[in-house]
Amino acid sequence: MSILLTFLIQLLVFIGFMIFFAARGNEIRPNIGLLVTPVIILNVCLLGVGFGCIVSALTTRYRDLQMALGFGMQLWMYASCIFYSSASVPDHLRWILKLNPVVPLVENFRNAFLGSGSVNYQDVVMSTATALAVFFVGVLIFHQVEKDFADTI
């Protein structure tokens, strides 16, 4: 819950910067896709909890996974179109981006707030289905491993 509060504070700062840059004449055109923002935030929360359950269940059994987790998270950030747009990726490699469930969330969030493109509602539906699947699989794995936590820790 505290992370969501931190996100909301950062979102207010982001909106303040958007207003500042728009007042200076930069082209920032938020669009109707802003209405999808709560769905995107919910998807990010579901993915976070789902992957968190999976990783925590695995780290009880495989302790070395903790060491690789930070490196893996950095790689995932670079593979998620945070610092670049998916339009800058060559067409023959875009199928790789489709495998990452975070890419449509980041792209649609960017398009909704900055107006750099239109929100792809099909991607929002697919990412919602993926987030729900990851969440339920994570909870199931966690529930299975939870019985043996005391023995493995």
Domain ranges of the chain: 1-29, 31-152
| pLDDT computed for residue 151 by the predictor | 64
Residues 114, 111: Cα–Cα separation, whole Å: 6
Q: Could you tell me which residues come within 8 angstroms of residue 94 by beta carbon, excluding any fewer than 6 positions away?
A: 86
Residues 51, 56: Cα–Cα separation, whole Å: 8
Element (H, E) at 3: helix 2-23
| pLDDT computed for residue 118 by the predictor | 82
- Evaluate if pTM is beyond 0.85: no
Q: What are the distances in angstroms from CA 126 to CA 36, 47, 62?
A: 13, 13, 31
Unique residue bearing structure tokens 């790789």 = 96
Q: Which of 5, 17, 21, 37 is nearest to 119 (CA)?
A: 37
| pLDDT computed for residue 153 by the predictor | 61
Residues of the chain with pLDDT under 50: none
Q: Which tens digit of pLDDT belongs to each residue from 109-149?
A: 888 888 777 888 898 899 999 999 999 999 999 998 887 77
